[in-house]
Amino acid sequence: MNQAIENIEIIRDRRAMGMNPSKFIVWLFIVSIAMLFAALTSAYIVKQSGGEWLNFNLPGMFWITSIIIIVSSVTMQLALSSARADRFNRLRTYLIVTVLLGLAFLIGQYQSWKQLVELDVYFVGNPAGSFLYVLTGLHAAHIISGLIFLLIVIVSSFKLKIHSRSLIRIEICTTYWHFLGGLWLYLFMFLKLNH
């Protein structure tokens, strides 16, 4: 009897909140990441206006990684759609492709850093290079966290814990992955306009 009352209270609390608590926590996390990058890009603009700014071309690999992250968002959305339709093989395939695209993005970022070194742009030295490495490095760290989350979702999909009546994990993962894609596009456009 006590268990039933507790379950009713949990359901009432969720309805009062209007959102699943796990989704709410992820949205708080996303907002905090957005604030971090807003602060960093604001600091970039302030520091750039102070002079002593190294001008250089952004690595061409940034264009390729931008395409990769867009395609990975599409495959992630297709995975969610497959989960909603209980198409388990497609779900797993799209999740695995998304992981591979995420890894390709990270490899592309590493190649971008190699291109920067070839241009004599280093982490230490001029603030322009430092900001570029910090912005792209922090984003790469968040991509790694997204890949870990994706791997957890893949394991859950093989255990049949993700299906049309149990979508919380994949919905949260999709939201986070789309956010990371949008964040990269924001950073790329910001750097393109302000370097």
Q: Work out how many domains the chain is built from and give that number.
A: 1
pLDDT of 123 reads: 86
CB atoms within 10 A of CB 1: 5
Transcribe 116-156 into DSSP letters. HHHTT--SSSSHHHHHHHHHHHHHHHHHHHHHHHHHHHHHH
The answer to the question of residue 74 being in a domain is yes
Could you tell me the pTM of the whole model?
Answer: 0.87
- How many angstroms from the chain centroid is the CA of residue 190? 17
The answer to the question of residue 16 being in a domain is no
In terms of residue numbers, what domain contains 136?
A: 21-194
The answer to the question of residue 167 being in a domain is yes
The answer to the question of residue 9 being in a domain is no
The answer to whether the CB of 103 falls within 8 A of the CB of 146 is no
The answer to the question of residue 147 being in a domain is yes
Transcribe the chain into DSSP letters. -HHHHHHHHHHHHHHHHTS-HHHHHHHHHHHHHHHHHHHHHHHHHHHHHTS-----PPPTHHHHHHHHHHHHHHHHHHHHHHHHTT-HHHHHHHHHHHHHHHHHHHHHHHHHHHHHHHTT--SSSSHHHHHHHHHHHHHHHHHHHHHHHHHHHHHHHHTT--BTTB-HHHHHHHHHHHHHHHHHHHHHHHHHHH-
CB atoms within 10 A of CB 64: 15
- Segment 2-45, tens digit of pLDDT: 565 565 565 555 555 567 888 889 999 999 999 999 999 999 99
The answer to the question of residue 145 being in a domain is yes
The answer to the question of residue 144 being in a domain is yes
The answer to the question of residue 175 being in a domain is yes
- Segment 50-99, tens digit of pLDDT: 777 788 889 999 999 999 999 999 999 999 999 999 999 999 999 999 99
Query: Mean per-residue pLDDT for 107-129?
Result: 90
Share of the chain above pLDDT 90, in %: 71
CATH number at residue 60: 1.20.120.80
